[in-house]
């Protein structure tokens, strides 16, 4: 995977311009561009990237705790999407999968995870550019995506689908440990109160569930079935 460093000429100029505007903007810009893809920067100059950083920082400057913040700027079939969220797995992959399923052209993706401290109404008080977290702070994910191929009239629908995707990711992440605990309960029940099944079948089922728990499966949801002995089957 090709990556750029902060020494890339366009990035270096953007950082100087951002630092000149404000030290906190400069610190944010360093996080924003630290792992940018070299291919994404083709045709971009320092002034372009500095303006990108300013707009991203404006979005990042305030966010209510515990909920994602989605921004979309659309111009003639192109769109810039910004997503600020509590740091958690699956955010980028889930969002990009949604965009890909809709046939949209992804032209740039930036995804820094930044340690921040905010006040009670979500205003940014401090950020850490060295991978740490300020005292009484937490980590936040900032996703910047530039798109092409967005059809007129599709903006509201896309925004709605992104919000639904982010909600589903949050639910899956928050429910992950309870789901693991529920599988452990099922294993315990099979071991202590086994149904009238062959020993080999029970052993295989328990071994399979333990294999799932050993980081071989990503639990995104759970459904329980109840067997009705009157012949009506599973419910």
pLDDT of residue 222: 80
| DSSP structural state of residue 235 | -
Structure tokens that stand for 170 in this block: 């949050």
HSE, side-chain direction, 13 A CA sphere, residue 214: 6
The neighbouring-strand residues paired with 123 are 62
Ordered per-residue pLDDT tens for the chain, 235 residues: 344 478 899 999 999 999 999 999 999 999 999 999 988 998 999 999 999 999 999 999 999 878 899 999 998 889 999 999 999 989 999 999 999 999 999 999 999 999 999 999 999 999 987 778 999 999 999 999 999 999 878 999 999 999 999 999 998 888 888 889 999 999 999 999 888 889 999 999 999 999 999 988 888 788 888 777 766 655 5
Q: Give 66-111 pLDDT, tens digit per residue.
A: 889 999 999 888 999 999 999 998 999 999 999 999 999 999 999 9
Do the beta carbons of residue 15 and residue 8 sit within 8 Å?
Answer: no
**Residue matched to tokens 């499966």:** 217
96-131: b (≥16 Cβ within 10 Å) or e = eebbeeeebebebbbbbebbbebeeeeebeebbbee
Do the beta carbons of residue 183 and residue 209 sit within 8 Å?
Answer: yes
Phi, psi for 178 (deg, rounded to 5): -60, -35
Q: How far apart are CA 123 and CA 139, in angstroms?
A: 15
């Amino acid at each position: 995977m090709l990556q750029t460093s902060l020494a890339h000429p366009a990035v270096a100029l953007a950082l100087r311009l951002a630092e000149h505007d404000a030290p906190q903007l400069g610190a944010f810009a360093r996080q924003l561009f630290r792992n940018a893809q070299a291919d994404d920067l083709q045709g971009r100059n320092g002034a372009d990237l500095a303006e990108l950083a300013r707009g991203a920082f404006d979005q990042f400057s305030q966010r209510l705790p515990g909920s994602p913040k989605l921004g979309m700027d659309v111009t003639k079939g192109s769109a810039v999407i910004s997503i600020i969220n509590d740091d958690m797995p699956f955010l980028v992959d889930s969002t990009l999968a949604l965009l890909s399923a809709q046939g949209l052209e992804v032209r740039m993706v930036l995804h820094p995870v930044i340690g921040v401290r905010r006040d009670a109404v979500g205003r940014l008080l401090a950020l850490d550019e060295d991978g740490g977290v300020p005292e009484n702070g937490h980590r936040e994910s900032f996703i910047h995506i530039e798109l092409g191929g967005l059809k007129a009239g599709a903006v509201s629908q896309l925004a709605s689908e992104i919000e639904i995707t982010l909600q589903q990711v949050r639910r899956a992440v928050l429910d992950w440990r309870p789901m693991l605990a529920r599988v452990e309960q099922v294993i315990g029940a099979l071991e202590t109160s086994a149904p009238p099944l062959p020993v080999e079948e029970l052993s295989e089922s328990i071994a399979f569930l333990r294999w799932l728990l050993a980081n071989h499966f990503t639990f995104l949801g759970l459904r329980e079935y109840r067997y009705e002995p009157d012949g009506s089957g599973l419910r």
